Amino acid sequence: WPRWPRPAAGAGPALNEVLESGRWSIASPYDGRPTYEQRFAARFTRYVGVRRCVATASGTAALMAALEACGVGAGDEVIVPALSWIASASTVLGVNAVPVFVDVDPGTLCLDSAAVEAAITERTKAIVVVHLYAAVADLDALSGLAARHGVALIEDCAQAHGARFRGRHVGGFGSAGTFSMHHTKLLTSGEGGAVVTDDDALARRVEHLRADGRCSPPAPPPIGTAELVETGELMGSNRCLSEFQSALLTVQLGELDRWNAVRRRNAFLLDKLLGGLGYTPQSTAPGTTERVYFTYAVGLPAQLTAAGAPVVAEAVTAELRYPVRPVYPPLYASRLYDPASRRRFSISAEHTARVSGPGQPLPVAEAAARRTLALHHAALLGDEEDVHDIAAAFEKVLRHAAELTAQ
C-alpha cells in the first residue's frame, strides 16, 4: 500500500534552505526576505480563495485561536458535531466554553442543520462545522442559520483540504476556517495548522493569539531586528508554526490537487464496486462541486449490521493487510473525552454538569459508530488494481456475514 506522508518533489531542498538560512522561527531576526510562513500564507490564501491566512502549530491551535478570535469565552456554548475527532470538543473546553454535541445527518455524517437549529440557545456563541472525512456539510443551511441567529460559523476543514462547495473552496464560508497539517492529513508538515478568513480584524486577533501577543509589522523593520511587533493589543500564547514546517507546506501544497485527483478517481470506482455489493458510501451535501477524500467511509449492508463495525473492520483488515476501522465513537462517549481528568476544567459544579455531554445518546451518531467503516486516504493513492483488491476484501467479508455474526 502507498505510504503516507509522501514528500513532494523539492521537499528536501526546501528544508535545507531553511536550515542554512539560520532563520528557523518567525521570531528570528528579519533578514530582508519574507518568512516562509508569510510565503505559505500567501500561497494558501490564493489556493482557498480568501483574504487572510495565519499559520499555527496545529489544527488544535487553529481551532482555539479561531474560537477566541470570534469572541468565544468563559461559559459560552459552542455547537459541535457528535461525530468528530476529539479536538472538536477539547478546543471548546480549552477556551473555557461548553461543547454542545449535536447529532449528524445519516448520509453525510456532518452536522444536521435541523438539529443545530433546535440546539441554539441564548448562550450559543458559535457553531463549529466539521467536513467529516472530507464530505462537505450542508453549508447553505448552516451559513443561513448562523447569520439568522447572529452566531459565528467556524468551518473545521482539518480533513477537507481542496474540497469545494458551489465552486468555492471550503474554509471561506463562515467567519473563519481552520485546517490541520497533522501527518495523517491531506496536506501535511508532520504537525501544523492554519486559520483562514476574509476578516482582517479577525486575522489580526489570530496573529496575536498565536504569537504571544505579537503581530507582523505594518512595514519591514531594519534588517537584523525582530520582525514581530509587541502591540499588547491581545494576550496570546506561542502556537507558531516553525519555518521548516512552512517551507515544507509550501512545497507539499503544489501536489495537493494532483494527489486529490488520484484519490477521487479511485474513490469513485470504489463507490461503484461497494455500492453494487450493498454497502453505502458516505455522501456529501448537494452543492459539493469538488469531492476529496481524507477517509473513505462506508456503511455496512444489512447482512453485516448484526456483526457490527468493530468485528467487520477486523475481518476486512485481515483480508487487506491495511487498517480499516469503525468511524469515531460519539464524542461524548469517547474514552478521550474526560474533562473531569483535568483540574483546570473544575471551574464550578454547574460547569462540570454542563460539559458532561447530552442527557441522552444521539441516535444517528450512535448508529454510524456501529455500522460505518473508515479507510485512510493513503489506500486510495494506488492504482485501479488496488481498488479492486479493496472491493474484493469487502465482498469476501460479506460472503462470510453469517460466520461473523455468530462470533
Interface residue list for ligand PLP (CB under 6 A): 58-60, 63, 84-85, 87-88, 130, 156, 158-159, 180, 182, 193
Measured CA to CA, the distance from residue 80 to residue 95 in angstroms comes to 14
**Is the Cβ of residue 68 or residue 156 nearer to ligand PLP in the bound state?**
156
Instruction: Tell me if 126 sits within 8 A of 78, measured CB to CB.
Output: yes
Pick 315 or 375: Cβ nearer ligand PLP: 375
Between residues 65 and 393, which has the closer beta carbon with respect to ligand PLP? 65
Alpha carbons 245 and 253: distance in angstroms, whole number: 12
| Shortest spacing between CB 90 and ligand PLP, in angstroms | 9
**Beta strands per DSSP E along 133-206:** 152-156, 164-165, 168-169, 176-180, 193-197
H or E segment to which residue 152 belongs: strand 152-156
Of all residues in this chain, which one has the CB nearest to ligand PLP in the complex? 59
Which cell numbers hold the place of 304?
Answer: 453485516
Catalytic residue among 125, 185, 272, 396: 185
Look up 272 and say whether it is catalytic: no
Minimum gap (Å) between residue 85 Cβ and ligand PLP: 4
Closest to 26 in 3D by CA, of 212, 155, 279, 300: 212
The grid coordinates listed for 122 are 441564548
Q: Give the torsion through C-alpha atoms of 118, 168, 158, 198, to 10 deg.
A: -80
Residue (194 or 202) nearer to ligand PLP, CB: 194
Q: How far is the CB of 356 from ligand PLP (least distance, A)?
A: 22
User: Could you check whether the bond before residue 5 is cis, i.e. omega within 30 degrees of 0?
Assistant: yes
Query: CB of residue 157 vs ligand PLP: minimum separation in angstroms?
Result: 8
Strand partners, 374: 297, 325
Residues marked active site are found at: 185
